[in-house]
Structure 1
């Protein structure tokens, strides 16, 4: 199994086997071994009668923590036990889902002292998705095709055009927050503007270069991934947005540095007076460092929690030690664990990792058909 494996519905026998493995691990970790057989008997009865079973609140909470702990691509797993889980399985309407997402944004932000958080909506029932969030993240900037190229985030052109086709209007700037697009079962998705109370942004400036602020760059303060499914004991949660805090390179090196995103390195290189005609001058490296310093400086000045790539890899090393002490193997996708700059200065560079998938875990989902069609029209 890979993180890109398409979702498939388990047979009743397979579902019970998945549930059995999860319940035994979960209850053992929580010191509740004496309850395992009675619980499995109840689960077997539920699956026989209804074709599925439901997690208890503590199973859901610990299962979500296990899913984070097992996430091969996440470098921030040291804090898996601190995950706050909001059980929103009682949400029935698209508006209720949107409002729960806004509560997630406000509570996880916590005045800048960010709390790791996950909100769980209804899981699939007998092969039928109950809730789906079309957004990649709960906060993301729109992207617009123009004659002069893309304005905003090129990664969000498809969702932006879909929202526009549904009547969404915006300022068409580089930093327009996209609405939440929520689908209940097979109903038509509904769009909801994200209220200002749920949006936090950091204006980027640099401690040494006054001109940096004139670039007009900013970024949202809280990354809430919302397009992945969480699988716990054979149950598929197709809407389970989760968040921690940013690693600075996610913003500086990737969101602003990548050529297929905001592509700011040439602009900054010229502002620095660097020779950008040849890669041999290492102008990209200098520009990248300036970008990342600006991100760290700005978040710190605004009192918003963020971590640099050196500190987070040291934290990951502690996570590895902790897991070894607990008798668990650490799995990992090295290509994702390596920071996108100065990777050779970290211990991850010297290590190899087993990329096997252990469940519970998070998995990528295929994009909704409407967005896939738009992506194909863009040749992506």
Structure 2
């Protein structure tokens, strides 16, 4: 990587406090990578690098071409060390939403994202890339951690109705004017903020939220709980970084792996905490940990999730299959001379980890670019703690 860095152009009046001059080294490295992997570009490499350097010197930023944006978003998925589903990185559908300016336009783009990603249950990997920050304009943001999240409410007894992880965010949107239904699976509104404007609330259209009723193949009492979960896990608070340009609003999705729902969302003590309920339905002895009641209840809950999605015709993957696919991804990448960064604690599934092939090996922990990043401010917003610049 070159050590040559461009100074901040002093002639620019900075309106956007979040803006920083893109790193020339990152820009150069990315463009060179793009031309190596896609050599048949209409603009020669040397000319494109000269264009970018001139734009940086005169405007303090530069703009990716549509082809560069698509490649950068896909490579960011390829480099995402916590994702086990990267075998399909080349299939990511990249939606260029950089011209969306108003909250209404952004909301329309987010709705279209959900429609295309849901695909009547045949879930497609999609990313929508909205405008980056510039010297004169802040980037748009969605405060939600995912486009579809369930509300959480504190009850009078100190317990929680709904998703306990989102009680603070639920309180926040209620303060902003949301009329909360008070149920167990209420879809939270989107909080969209654009340059110079206050955050605005938008309900997610009901027809765009595909939900799966959860049933168990052999336990009718489970069906009576009335549980459900949504089909599309669209992360919306991570910053996409491509060639020194940051895109704070770039929601993306794949499809669920069953353990995300059956071993975390429905099980974590600060979420729906359903293991004791499941154990009760199964008649398990919960008085002693040596009965392994947690393990038995966890497996049956995951059986219910996979069974329900298959029954509803909604795409999902089990952790054994996805683990084998990840090793296939590693083989393909290594054949191309590329390393595969991976965080073992995220790649190994939370159910029967030792039975999966991803458990019994070491991984490269390099941080590669392009990539996705979760910044402290974005995390705070999604946890119901808005921050000021």
- TM norm structure 2: 0.91
User: Quick one: distance in 2 between partners of 1:231 and 1:340?
Assistant: 29
- Corresponding residue for residue 117 of structure 1: 126
Unaligned 5+ segments in structure 1 are 1-6
Q: Match of 1:4? A: none
The question of 1:24 aligning with 2:32 is answered: yes
Deviation at 1:128, TM superposition (A): 5.1
Q: Give the corresponding residue for 2:103.
A: 94
The change in CA–CA distance for 1:368 and 1:316 in structure 2 (over 3 A counts) is closer
> What is the aligned residue count?
368
Report if aligned partners of 1:109, 1:115 keep a CA contact under 8 Å in 2.
Answer: yes
| Aligned residue among 326, 332, 336 for 2:346 | 336
Corresponding residue for 2:6?
none
- Residue among 134, 140, 147 paired with 2:143: 134
Looking at secondary structure, tell me which structure has more helix per residue: 1
User: What is the CA-CA distance between 1:369 and the residue it aligns to?
Assistant: 9.2
1:115 is displaced (CA, Å) by: 0.8
Judged with a 3 Å threshold, the aligned counterparts in structure 2 of structure 1 residues 369 and 284 are, in CA distance, closer, same or farther, namely closer
1:169 is aligned, of 164, 173, 179, to 179
**Contact 2:121/2:210, CA 8 A, preserved across alignment:** no
Cross-structure match for 2:10: none
Q: Is 1:280 aligned to 2:287, yes or no?
A: no
Runs of 4+ in 1 over 4 A off after TM superposition: 7-12, 368-376
Q: Distance in 2 between matches of 1:349 and 1:375?
A: 36
For residues 154 and 116 of structure 2, the distance between their equivalents in structure 1, rounded to whole angstroms, comes to 34
Structure 2 gaps of 5+ residues are 1-16
Paired residues of 1:105 and 1:198 also in contact (CA < 8 A): yes
Aligned to 2:65: 56
Distance 2:131 2:213 in 1: 36
In the alignment, the residues of structure 2 paired with residue 8 and residue 24 of structure 1 have an alpha-carbon distance, to the nearest angstrom, of 27
SS in 2 for 1:37: helix
Show CA shifts across 1:154-207 (max 9, x none).
Answer: 111121111100111121001000001001024211000111121110000011
Q: Deviations over 1:28-58 (max 9, x none)?
A: 1012377111001100111011100000000
Q: Is the 8 A contact 2:265 2:272 kept in 1?
A: yes
| RMSD (Å) for aligned C-alpha atoms | 1.8
